[in-house]
Structure 1
Amino acid sequence: METIHLTYPETPDLVPSVMVLGFFDGVHTGHQAVIRHAQAQAKQLDVPVTVITFDPHPKQVLSNKPDAVRYITPLQRKLNRIAALGVERCIVITFTKELASLSPQQFVDDYLIGAGAVHVTAGFDYSYGKFGEGTMETLPYHARGRFTTSVVAEQTSGGEKVSSTRIRQLLGAGDVDVASELLGTPYVICGEVIHGDARGRTIGYPTANVVMDASYVMPRLGVYATRVRLQDGRTFDAMTNVGRRPTFYATGDVSIESHLFDFSEDLYGQLIEIEWMHYLRDERAFDGLDSLIAQLKQDETAARAILS
C-alpha cells in the first residue's frame, strides 16, 4: 500500500480514485464494511481506493492533553490492518488546529476534489470541517458535481452499534472476547521486553515484562489467557497479568507481564505482540508465596484449557 503523510497546507497529488473517509481506530468490522463498500465502488469505476485518515486523534489535539487518547490501533498498526484489506493508497493527514479550522467546503476542495476523488464514501456518522459542520448529508452539496457519494449504514453486533467507543468500553471491562469479535481479530498490544525484578523466576513463573510501544487502550486490570507472538513469528500460549502486583507492592505503576507456556528463552530487548483472548480473574493480593503459586497454577490450567 502506498502511504502518503501530509501536514496542512500540503495537499495530495491528483490521482483519480474512490476515497473512503474515517479515523478508523481499530479497523473494526464496521470500518471493514465501509472499506469493502469503497472497494466495490472502485471495481465498478475501474479506479483504486484511497483511504483518508488522520493522526493524532482530533481529541488529543483539541483538548491540549498529549495523553487524552489511548488507541486500539496506533498509527502503524492501523496502516498495517488497512493494507491487509487490499487498499491501494492511504493518505495520513496530520491533525492540527489549523486543519480543524478549515470550512467543510475548503476541506472537500483541498483533500477530495483536489486529490482526484471520483466517488467518496464513509460511515453514516462521519463529519468533516470546522466544528464537524460537514456531514454525509452535506457532502453531495460540497462535492459541487465533481464526485458522487454513498453512505454506509450503521453496523451492529448483538443489537448494538459497532464502534471504537464500544470496543474501548469492552476492553476496559475485561470483555476481550467480545472486543475481538467486533475487531474481527484478537486485540493486540505490542511492546518491548525489559528487565523487571525477576521475582517470577524464583517461583517457577518467569515473565516477560512489557513496555508498550505506543499509547494503547489498557485492558481491565487482571489476569488473562493470551497468546504471545515473537519477532521471529513463533507464537506461544501464555497468561498475562495487567496490574500493580499488590502482593509485593502497596502502590505502583500498572505493568504488563506475560508468562509464556513451555518456553525458556531470553526475550530481553525483543518486540513482542500480546493477543488478548479471555479474562480469567481480578488481580488481588495474596497472603504469601504459597497461596500465590497455588493460584498461578490454577490460572495456568484455566488458560491452557481456554487456548486449546
Structure 2
Amino acid sequence: MQYFNGLAEVPVDFGPSVVTLGNFDGVHRGHQEVLRQLVAAAGERQAQAVAITFDPPPAQVHRPDSAPAQIMSLSDRLDMMAESGIDAVLVLAYNLDFAAQSPEEFVLNTFVRTLHAAEVVIGHDVRFGRDNSGDLATMQELGEKHGFRVRVIEEFGADRRCSSTWVREALQVGDVATAATVLGRPHQMRGEVVHGAARGRELGFPTANLAADASGFIPADGVYAGWLIDQSEVRWPAAISVGSNPTFEGVSRQVEAHVLDRPAEAVEDFNLYGQFVTVEFVERLRGMVAYTGPEALIDQMCRDVEQARQLLGQEPTATQS
C-alpha cells in the first residue's frame, strides 16, 4: 500500500482512482465494508483504490476539550486499512485553514486535480467542506459537474449501525465483547513494557506494564481475559488489569497483563521489558475492587486467573505462578 502524507506527495500522473474518505477510527466492520466495496469498485474500473483520512481527527481541532478519545493510533489505523487491499492512503493534515475550504474547493483540490477520481464511494451521512456544509446531495452535484460517479454505501449493521461511537460506548463500560463484535476483532492496545512497582511479582503474579503513552482506547477499570502478543508475534494468554489498584495507595492508573502460561525454561527469565507488545481484550471478568489486604487480593487473583484460563480455552501448566 502506498502512503501519501499530504496532497504534495501524490504523483502528478496518479490515477485514475476510486476514492473514499473518513476518520476510520477503529476500522470497524462498517469501515471494512466501505473499504471492501472501494476495492471492488476500483477493480471494475482498473483504477487505484484510495482512502482519505485526517490527522488529527477534525473533532480535535474544532472542539479539543470534548473530542472523543481515539480507539486506535494513526499508525495502527493505517496498518489495519492496508489489510483491506486498498492501493493507497492519503493522510491530510487537518487544521482550521483546511477546514475553511468550501465543499467544491475540497473536491476540486483533492478528488479532481490530485487523485483524478473516476468514482467516489461514500455513506449517506457524509459531511465535508466548510462548516460541514457539504452532504450527499452536494457530492452528487459536484460529481455531475466534475466528471466522477458517486457510489452510496448502505449502513452496515443489523440492529444498530456499526460506528466508532458504539465502540467507545462499549469500552467505557468495559464491554469489550460488544466492542469486538462491532470491530470484527478484539480491541487492542499497543505500547512498550516498562518497569512498575513490582507489586504483582511480590504477590506471585508478575505483570507486563504498558507505558503511559500506549496507544488505544483504555477500557473501563477492571480485570479482563485476553492475550499479550510479544514482538515476535507469539500470543500469550493473559489476565489483564486496568486501573489504579485500590487495595494499595498511591498507585496511578495503568494497564498490566499477567501471562498465564510460560514455558518451563523461561519461568525465571521471561522478560518483556523494552518490548513493544499488543494487548487484546476478550472478556471482562470483574470490576476493580478494594480488598482488605494482600491475602484477599491473592485469593481473588487466583480466581481471576482460573476464569481467564477457562474463557481462553487454556489448560493449566505445572509452571504457572
TM-score (norm 2): 0.91
Contact 2:191 2:215 in 1 (8 A): no
Report what 2:150 is aligned to. 149
CA distance in 1, matches of 2:117, 2:213: 35
Report what 1:301 is aligned to. 306
Per-residue CA shift, 1:123-154, capped at 9, x if unaligned? 22121101111112210212214100011111
Contact 2:42 2:49 in 1 (8 A): yes
Query: Identity rate of aligned residues, in percent?
Result: 36
Report what 1:262 is aligned to. 261
Q: 2:227 aligned with 1:227, yes or no?
A: yes
Report what 2:167 is aligned to. 167
Report what 1:119 is aligned to. 119
Contact 1:245 1:285 in 2 (8 A): yes
CA distance in 2, matches of 1:94, 1:246: 41
Moved more, 209-218 or 263-272: 209-218
Report what 1:82 is aligned to. 81
The residue matched to 2:137 in structure 1 has which SS?
A: coil
CA distance in 1, matches of 2:292, 2:43: 63
Structure 1 residues 215 and 236, CA gap change in structure 2 (3 angstroms) = closer
CA distance in 2, matches of 1:194, 1:237: 19
Q: 2:275 aligned with 1:274, yes or no?
A: no
CA distance in 2, matches of 1:140, 1:252: 55
Letter in 1 for 2:194: I
CA distance in 1, matches of 2:98, 2:310: 50
CA distance in 1, matches of 2:83, 2:212: 23
TM-score (norm 1): 0.94
Contact 1:190 1:212 in 2 (8 A): no
CA distance in 2, matches of 1:267, 1:167: 29
List alignment gaps of at least 5 residues for structure 1.
Answer: none
Root-mean-square deviation (Å): 1.5
The structure with the largest strand share of the pair is 1
Deviation, 1:69, is 3.7
List alignment gaps of at least 5 residues for structure 2.
Answer: 314-321
Report what 1:100 is aligned to. 99
Letter in 2 for 1:172: Q
Letter in 1 for 2:148: F
Contact 2:23 2:54 in 1 (8 A): yes
CA distance in 1, matches of 2:205, 2:43: 53
Q: 2:28 aligned with 1:33, yes or no?
A: no
Report what 1:208 is aligned to. 208
Aligned residues: 303
The residue matched to 1:70 in structure 2 has which SS?
A: coil
Per-residue CA shift, 1:261-295, capped at 9, x if unaligned? 12330111111100000000010111011110100
